[in-house]
Chains A and B, each alone.
Chain A
Amino acid sequence: MAGKLRAYVRLLALYGRMDLNWMLQDSVTVIIILISETLQNLSSMAGVLLLAVRFGGVGSLSADEVLFMLGFYELASGLCFMLFGNFNVMHISRRLGRGQLDHMLIQPRPLLLQLATEGFMPFTGCHGLIIGVILTWIALARLELALTPGWFLLLAYYVVIHMALQIAQTALYGASALWRPVACEEISTMILDLNQQLGKFPLAGLQGWLMAALHTVLPVGLLAYLPALALLRGLGKGIGLTLPLAVASVFMAAAIICMKKGLKHYEIYSCNRYKDMGHRN
Chain B
Amino acid sequence: MELLYAACVGLMVSCGVFLILRARTFPVVLGLTMLSYAVNLFLFSSGRLSTNQAAVLGYSAEYADPLPQALVLTAIVIGFAMTAFVVILAIRGRTDLGSDHVDGQAPKSNKKVKV
- Our verdict on whether A and B bind, yes or no, reads no
